[in-house]
Structure 1
Amino acid sequence: MIAKQSLHPEHYYDAKTLEVEQTQVFEKSWVFVGFKDQISQNHDFITLQVGNTPVVVQNFNGELSALLNVCSHRKAKLQTAQRGNRPLLCPYHCWSYKSDGALSGVPQNRTDFGLDDLAKKKLALKQFNLASCGNMLFVRVAKEGPRLDEFLGPYFNILEEISNDFVDPVQQGNYHWETNWKLACETVLEVYHVAGTHPETFAKFAKPEVEVAHFNGHTTGNTPLQDAPKKWWAGARKHLKLEQSTSYSEYNHFFIYPNLAIGLTNGSLMSLQTYEPKGTTQSQLNFQLRMMRRVDGGATSDAVKAAIKANFTEFNHTILEEDRLVAESCQANMQSIDSAGILGKCEERILHFHDAWRHDVQPHLPLRD
């Protein structure tokens, strides 16, 4: 038989599985934070949850630092928004911190706390590993582990190139899915479902074939585009004065384990998603759309973008909604079934994802067959 066994349904709703994933998958992996240009100004920040750990990546006068996003005083979140611009100052009692996590300010310290330098040092925020690949930022919560370039392998050069090419933000947002995070990831790891799930959308966009490459849990799926979207994007590039990537001109899709997906359309548009666990059967899909840089190196005005971006932003929304509905349908059946599904050769990217997941969790979690 060519087909191979998928993960047991229990691992898509089991609390112990998620507990192990948080520490052994997310906290030990390099997890995508955002783009450097999103936190280029002093006091800019991005927050995210990495496993069990709230993290803030903040700009301190040009120095970027990844720190625990929890005040040492009464455990309030330091930065409460997903992105923003404010000093690293607790909104509860105004304790403040430096780029290395050191406690820098305590109101009424002399009269009410009496913290000396040694006491302040013990209250410093934990600092995490932060590294960049081109314009992309990644964080690793675990103290020990491979460097980012070792973790990414051949994908380091790919991400470096595309992150420096696709520099014009178009749209960002998030969706709530009633699915386990793994099931959400799996929706983008094969084109076998396109005819059934996307007959009027993606099926008319790309051809039903894919060329796959992989390194550990990271994978590539290169799919030829239909003629119509190529013609549309040729016109869009002319109108917006965009360059076209010389390396990626079809539909080129990359998955970076554990939860980052990047799709490139005709060397012109980047669609990026991360899939964040919010519970055993809930996840949050965070997305960003970015266009290729302009030929003249300038910035495209919002008015010019508006004339054309509604087309592809609506297309992106429709595709994600179609995937959400079918994923939630599958999730609803997981607790009713006690046997694993099967995966065909056409779903080999999911197999690589599962192999990396098993490698991370197996020493800490009994796996069901």
Structure 2
Amino acid sequence: MIVTQAIHPTHYYDQATFELEREEVFEKNWIFVGFKDQVAKNHDFITLKVGNTPVVVQNFNGQVSALLNICSHRRAQLQTQTQGNRPLVCPYHCWSYKSDGALAGVPQNRTDFGLDEAAKKALSLKEFTLESCGELLFVRVAKAGPSLENYLGPYYPILSRISAEFTDPVQQGHYQWNTNWKIACETVLEVYHVAGVHPESFAKFAKAECDIEFFNGHTTGNTPLQDTPKKWWAGARKHLKLEQSSEYTEYNHFFIYPNMAIGLTNGSLMSLQTYDPLTSTQSQLNFQLRMIKRLDGSATSDAVKAVIKANFTEFNHTILEEDRLVAESCQANMPAVNTPGILGQCEDRIRHFHDAWRSDIKPQLSSGE
């Protein structure tokens, strides 16, 4: 046989596994935060939860820092939106913080708290490691670990290059799935399911074949496009005066372990997705669409973006809904079986994903798979 064994079904719903994943997978690895342009202005911020840790990535007069998103006073959340622009001031009692997490201001300190400089320093927010790859920002909660460049390996120059090419935001949003985050990731890691799940959508967009490259848990899947979308994008680029990626001209898909996926369509459109664990059986799929830059360097008009959105958003939504339904079906069935599934060679990207997961988790498991 040439098949390999998948992760045991228990690990798609077991709470103990989920708690381990928060620490061993998400807090110890590099996690994608967002694009640099999302925190380009003073007071711009992005929030996310990395494992058990609420993080805010914020611009302080040009200095971008990653800090614990919990006030040291009474543990209120400092920034309550996913993305926005406001100083790092607690909405509860107005305590404020600096770029290194130091306590900047305490209302009524002299009369009611009497905090000296040493006491203020002890109340500083925890600061996390923040690094960039091209226009992409990543955070690592754990103090020790490889640099981002070493972590990404051969994917570091790839991500740096494509993030500099696909610079024009079109749309962003999220979906909530009633599945473990790993099942959500697995839906984009093979094309074997296309004929069954996407016969009228993705099957007409790209061919059900894939050349695979890999490094640790990171993988690439290069899939030839059908002729119709190629012709459409060729016309769109000519009309819109768009560049085309010189290297990635089919459907080129990159997965960065543990939960980030980037799909490039005909070297013209980027779809970036992350799969965030919410509970052991729920996940949130976050997506951003970005177009490749124009030949003249100018920004694409809102009217043109509307055309792209109208063409691609419905298609993207259809595929994600088709994936969600089958993923939720798989999730519902996991407690009813006690043996692992199997993976064929056409699902090799999932095997690499599982191997990376096992490397992070298995030493901590109380029982083997």
Task: Tell me if TM exceeds 0.5.
Answer: yes
Taking only aligned residues, the RMSD between alpha carbons, in angstroms, comes to 0.7
TM-score norm. by structure 2 comes to 0.99
In 2: Cα distance, 1:316 partner to 1:169 partner: 16
In 2: Cα distance, 1:309 partner to 1:33 partner: 23
In 2: Cα distance, 1:129 partner to 1:367 partner: 33
Which residue in the other structure is 1:189 paired with? 189
Which residue in the other structure is 2:288 paired with? 288
Contact 2:12 2:334 in 1 (8 A): yes
Tell me how far 1:309 sits from its aligned partner: 2.5
Which amino acid is the alignment partner of residue 146 of structure 1?
P
Tell me how far 1:362 sits from its aligned partner: 1.2
Tell me how far 1:306 sits from its aligned partner: 1.4
Which residue in the other structure is 2:94 paired with? 94
Tell me how far 1:365 sits from its aligned partner: 1.0
Which residue in the other structure is 1:150 paired with? 150
Tell me how far 1:305 sits from its aligned partner: 1.9
Which amino acid is the alignment partner of residue 275 of structure 1?
Y
In 2: Cα distance, 1:49 partner to 1:132 partner: 18
In 1: Cα distance, 2:234 partner to 2:48 partner: 36
Instruction: Tell me whether 302-311 or 204-213 shows the greater mean CA deviation.
Output: 302-311
Contact 2:217 2:356 in 1 (8 A): yes
Which amino acid is the alignment partner of residue 216 of structure 1?
N
In 2: Cα distance, 1:186 partner to 1:102 partner: 41
Q: Are 2:77 and 1:82 equivalent residues in the alignment?
A: no
1:2-81 alignment, distance < 5 Å: 2-81=2-81
Secondary structure of the corresponding residue to residue 297 of structure 2: coil
The Cα offsets for residues 95-126 of structure 1, whole Å up to 9 and x where unpaired, read as 00000000000000000000000000000000
In 2: Cα distance, 1:32 partner to 1:279 partner: 19
Which residue in the other structure is 1:270 paired with? 270
Tell me how far 1:313 sits from its aligned partner: 1.2
The Cα offsets for residues 9-65 of structure 1, whole Å up to 9 and x where unpaired, read as 000000000111000000000000000011100000000000000000000001100
Which residue in the other structure is 2:279 paired with? 279
Contact 2:362 2:368 in 1 (8 A): no
In 2: Cα distance, 1:238 partner to 1:111 partner: 67
Tell me how far 1:314 sits from its aligned partner: 1.0
In 2: Cα distance, 1:84 partner to 1:240 partner: 30
1:82-161 alignment, distance < 5 Å: 82-161=82-161
Gaps of 5+ in 1: none
Secondary structure of the corresponding residue to residue 363 of structure 1: helix
TM-score norm. by structure 1 comes to 0.99
Which residue in the other structure is 1:176 paired with? 176
In 1: Cα distance, 2:356 partner to 2:280 partner: 19
Secondary structure of the corresponding residue to residue 128 of structure 2: strand
In 2: Cα distance, 1:174 partner to 1:11 partner: 24
In 1: Cα distance, 2:327 partner to 2:32 partner: 23
Contact 1:8 1:368 in 2 (8 A): no
In 1: Cα distance, 2:199 partner to 2:50 partner: 36
Tell me how far 1:230 sits from its aligned partner: 0.2
Tell me how far 1:238 sits from its aligned partner: 1.7
Which amino acid is the alignment partner of residue 339 of structure 2?
S
Flag the 1:326–1:86 CA change in 2: closer, same or farther, 3 A. same
Which amino acid is the alignment partner of residue 165 of structure 1?
E
Contact 1:270 1:289 in 2 (8 A): yes
Tell me how far 1:240 sits from its aligned partner: 1.8
Tell me how far 1:319 sits from its aligned partner: 0.8
Tell me how far 1:142 sits from its aligned partner: 0.1
In 2: Cα distance, 1:322 partner to 1:367 partner: 35
1:207-356 alignment, distance < 5 Å: 207-356=207-356
Contact 1:213 1:221 in 2 (8 A): yes
In 2: Cα distance, 1:72 partner to 1:247 partner: 48
Gaps of 5+ in 2: none
In 1: Cα distance, 2:308 partner to 2:9 partner: 42
In 1: Cα distance, 2:240 partner to 2:20 partner: 47
In 1: Cα distance, 2:239 partner to 2:38 partner: 26
In 1: Cα distance, 2:245 partner to 2:280 partner: 39
Contact 2:171 2:309 in 1 (8 A): no
Structure 1 residue ranges, 4+ long, deviating more than 4 angstroms after superposition: none
The Cα offsets for residues 167-214 of structure 1, whole Å up to 9 and x where unpaired, read as 000000000000000000000000000000000000011111100000
In 1: Cα distance, 2:366 partner to 2:242 partner: 51
In 2: Cα distance, 1:239 partner to 1:325 partner: 37
In 2: Cα distance, 1:263 partner to 1:361 partner: 27
Contact 1:10 1:368 in 2 (8 A): no
Secondary structure of the corresponding residue to residue 362 of structure 1: helix
Which amino acid is the alignment partner of residue 314 of structure 1?
E
Secondary structure of the corresponding residue to residue 91 of structure 1: coil
User: Identity over the aligned pairs, expressed in percent?
Assistant: 75
Contact 1:262 1:270 in 2 (8 A): yes
Tell me how far 1:239 sits from its aligned partner: 2.1
Flag the 1:333–1:347 CA change in 2: closer, same or farther, 3 A. same
In 2: Cα distance, 1:151 partner to 1:75 partner: 33
The Cα offsets for residues 203-234 of structure 1, whole Å up to 9 and x where unpaired, read as 01111110000000000000000100000001
Secondary structure of the corresponding residue to residue 363 of structure 2: coil
In 1: Cα distance, 2:367 partner to 2:272 partner: 31
In 1: Cα distance, 2:78 partner to 2:242 partner: 39
In 1: Cα distance, 2:267 partner to 2:150 partner: 27
